[in-house]
Amino acid sequence: MISHKDFFDQVIVNIEKIAAGTSVAIVSSDGLVLHSNVKDETAESQLGSFSSVFLDEGKKIFSVPAANSTDSAKEDIQTTVTVGGKRVFVLTQLLNDAFLVILGEDKSKTNEFLKKSLEESDRLQAMIQKQEIAF
């Protein structure tokens, strides 16, 4: 069985392969950063706070049906994508109360970030079903 830390480390590495220097965090629905690659504690707290604003305000732009959705499984993966002048922000639900947050400096990578975040969510759900990780 894989530990939460090892899984989250793998997620971060997979996102960093798209664009080095991308800020990646696993954030609770309360905005608490559970794991991240952000070295500066202030920047990490700001990323968590920024994420909680999106969650609190309900700015979920669209829902993507889960690939292996069943009646007992979570029906939708909530995802928010915001593209600014230079940056992209992707927030994807991993679990009911945990979200993958990606803050990239290269907005041309938006589709890659979105695709990878959904793949990581699917991978986590498959691991939970196979009992390779427990939450």
- Go through the domains of the chain in sequence order and give each one's CATH number: 4-129 (3.30.450.30)
Residue 130 has pLDDT above 80, yes or no: yes
Mean pLDDT is lowest, of 73-87, 91-105, 107-121, for: 73-87
User: Amino acid letter at 134?
Assistant: A
Tokens of 12: 């971060």
User: Amino acid letter at 77?
Assistant: I
Alpha helices in 17-109 (DSSP H): 41-57
Element (H, E) at 77: strand 76-83
CA distances for 133 relative to 4, 20, 39, 87, 125, angstroms: 7, 27, 26, 32, 9
Q: What is the DSSP letter of 16?
A: H
Percent of the chain at pLDDT > 70 equals 84
- Average pLDDT score over residue span 11-29: 94
3-class secondary-structure state, position 76: strand
How many whole angstroms separate alpha carbon 123 and alpha carbon 121?
5
pLDDT tens per residue across span 58-90: 544 444 454 555 544 445 667 888 898 889 999
